[in-house]
Structure 1
Amino acid sequence: MVGVLGEGAGVGVPGLDEVAGEFERFLRLERGLSEHTVRAYLTDLGGLLGHLRATGARTLAGLDIVVLRAWLAEQHRAGLARATLARRTACARVFSTFAHRRGWLADDPGLLLGTAKAGRTLPAVLGQDEARAVLDGPEGEGPKRLRDQAIMEVLYGTGIRVSELCALDVDDVDRDRRTLRVLGKGGRERTVPFGAPAMQAMDAWCVQGRPLWIRERSGPALFLGARGGRIDPGTVRRVVHARLAAVEGAPDMGPHGLRHTAATHLLEGGADLRSVQEILGHASLNTTQIYTHVSIDRLRSAYRQAHPRA
């Protein structure tokens, strides 16, 4: 389908079939969004452009506030979760602004959209005793045991994302200052502290385990798979699930659950919200504030169980 803008269109305006490619380059190169977010936005854009075509519009010029609202209403009627609706609203706003600035739309209809807010659910977290039991883990000295122990200690000890852990190189570890150099979302670099248990676990892995798995393709990767390549998020998730399953009563969660747990335990231990924001690499303090709600929820639960007048 040819997707020119029609009257008033400039030379070089892409057709509808080319719009997604241009938008993808914008998201990756100019916005610096994560791979996960880029994929989600492109899926959302595909749905929006499909809806635009279904209205009978033949050009991008047919994208207006009526189309945007009708598309979002259709998603709502389909029963999509509030978080998904919020993301699709955000995608529509970002895309319409992008298209307007490129000269593909005379106006920016996304400015007229309300801001959809995702409902926030409190994440499951480990209690401190549960975390201790998980980290004590099974006995063993092989490379896999040493690597898995280091992974668990680093995830809980730093609260970094699974993608950030997989991207770590050996030189990102500062042993003297006990810090990691982490490349987070949007290419933002930060320094994250860790404790003695994580340092001991990484030392054991690097000295006794990693050399046994190093291959030509290993490069500087800190954590390796059994075949010598850089570890992938799927492997890390399997490690975390297996370690949690071994502890009776521990909730099943992935690496992000350990991130939630680390943040909650930091706040419960007296860390201030700004420090936790910096450690986690949140762009907005509002994102970090959910963990204060987790702590309050746990406090209320303890009160209800312990106080005779609760």
Structure 2
Amino acid sequence: QCSLHLKTQGISDWQKVGIENLSAWLSSLTEQEYVATSLSRKLSAVRMLAKFLKGENKLNKDFTELLVNPRKARHLPDSLSIDEMESFLEAPDLNTPLGKRDRALFELMYGSGLRVSEIGSLLMNSIDTKEGFARVFGKGSKERVVPLGRHAARAVENYLHGGRPFLVKDGTGGELFLSIRGKVISRKMIWVLVKDYARKAGIEKNVSPHGLRHSFATHLLMGGADIRSVQEMLGHADVGTTQIYTQVEAERLLDEHANFHPLSNS
């Protein structure tokens, strides 16, 4: 995998490999959502190769010497409880076009686990509310099909008939979610909307767009969903990334046990 990446940089001789080349390779893996443990394993294999080549006098200098192993710690955003999520989703005013838009936006982010970049770039022809799925282009322009869910499909239908037509202006494109000016809604605006509605719902947690995606994965796993299915829906390149959510849920259960079991503190 490293060798293939180096070839894309025009490098076929290990003697010419520098730390900047390996850093670029690791960055490309990070963008594909490989977790730190997977990155460390891949880097370890390259270190062994460099050590072997140097021992065989086929390499003047170990090009991995200055590389630092990726950190294993990874911060995850706050996830919402199911009750908090229901309050959040009910916050938009469905009597207004913008309220219909925002409800559909949030239902899709939570109901399908979409990234903020994916939700903003959704096109009208990429979503099928009747069949209940959407075609999404994720990181690396990889296409995947995600289920909508009944609530999300209904919210999108409501927005398409009673929200979006009022936001369309001259020059409006085929994007699904529009701003009040008829342009595609920006990532920044989605962030602002999530924060504003969280406050309206009385949620004190630091809610973010990725927190809705986090809640999607956590709630699925809480309900017994298969981790490989969740990985596919999230568009994770590495199942290790998805496994982080199982660790978070395990920690939550331990906290619940410690706080409420009568013998846990005896």
TM-score normalised by structure 1 residue count: 0.65
Measured in 2, the distance between the counterparts of 1:165 and 1:111 equals 39
Give the share of equivalent positions with the same residue, in percent.
38
Return the offset for 1:252.
2.0
Report 1:184-199 matches (<5 A).
184-199=138-153
Q: Is the 8 A contact 1:122 1:293 kept in 2?
A: no
Return the offset for 1:119.
1.3
Return the offset for 1:250.
4.0
SS state at 2:173 partner = coil
Measured in 2, the distance between the counterparts of 1:188 and 1:239 equals 27
**1:256 aligns to 2:210 (yes or no):** yes
1:81-135 Cα distance to aligned partner (Å, 9 max, x none): xx9xx9xxx9xx9xxxxxxxxxxxx989644435322412343110111111111
Return the offset for 1:180.
0.7
Q: Is the 8 A contact 2:77 2:210 kept in 1?
A: no
| CA RMSD, 1 decimal | 3.0
Other-structure match for 2:171: 217
Measured in 1, the distance between the counterparts of 2:95 and 2:60 equals 64
The residue identity in structure 2 corresponding to 1:271 is: A
Measured in 2, the distance between the counterparts of 1:255 and 1:249 equals 14
Corresponding residue pairs, total: 221
Return the offset for 1:304.
1.4
Measured in 2, the distance between the counterparts of 1:296 and 1:277 equals 18
1:35-82 Cα distance to aligned partner (Å, 9 max, x none): xxxxxxxxxxxxxxxxxxxxxxxxxx99966xx99xxxxxxxxxxxxx
Q: 1:120 to 1:197 in 2, by over 3 A?
A: same
Return the offset for 1:145.
0.7
Q: 1:302 to 1:219 in 2, by over 3 A?
A: same
The residue identity in structure 2 corresponding to 1:308 is: P
Other-structure match for 2:132: 178
The residue identity in structure 1 corresponding to 2:154 is: Q
SS state at 2:194 partner = helix
The residue identity in structure 2 corresponding to 1:152 is: F
1:189-216 Cα distance to aligned partner (Å, 9 max, x none): 0000011111111111111111111123
Return the offset for 1:139.
3.4
Q: Is the 8 A contact 1:130 1:250 kept in 2?
A: no
Q: 1:110 to 1:240 in 2, by over 3 A?
A: farther
Q: Is the 8 A contact 2:138 2:235 kept in 1?
A: yes
1:137 to 71, 91, 111: 91
Report 1:1-310 matches (<5 A).
110-112=63-65, 113-310=67-264
Other-structure match for 1:12: none
Q: Is the 8 A contact 2:87 2:201 kept in 1?
A: yes
Moved more, 169-178 or 117-126: 117-126
Measured in 2, the distance between the counterparts of 1:165 and 1:179 equals 14
Unaligned runs of 5+ in 2: 10-14, 24-35, 47-58
Q: 1:256 to 1:109 in 2, by over 3 A?
A: farther
Q: Is the 8 A contact 1:157 1:194 kept in 2?
A: yes
Return the offset for 1:226.
0.5
Q: 1:242 to 1:181 in 2, by over 3 A?
A: same
Other-structure match for 1:76: none
Return the offset for 1:138.
4.2
Measured in 2, the distance between the counterparts of 1:138 and 1:219 equals 25
1:248-274 Cα distance to aligned partner (Å, 9 max, x none): 244122100100010000000111110
Q: 1:202 to 1:110 in 2, by over 3 A?
A: farther
Higher relative contact order (CA 8 A, sep 6+): 2
Measured in 2, the distance between the counterparts of 1:179 and 1:197 equals 12
Unaligned runs of 5+ in 1: 1-25, 32-60, 70-82, 94-105
Measured in 2, the distance between the counterparts of 1:62 and 1:191 equals 41
Q: Is the 8 A contact 1:277 1:288 kept in 2?
A: yes
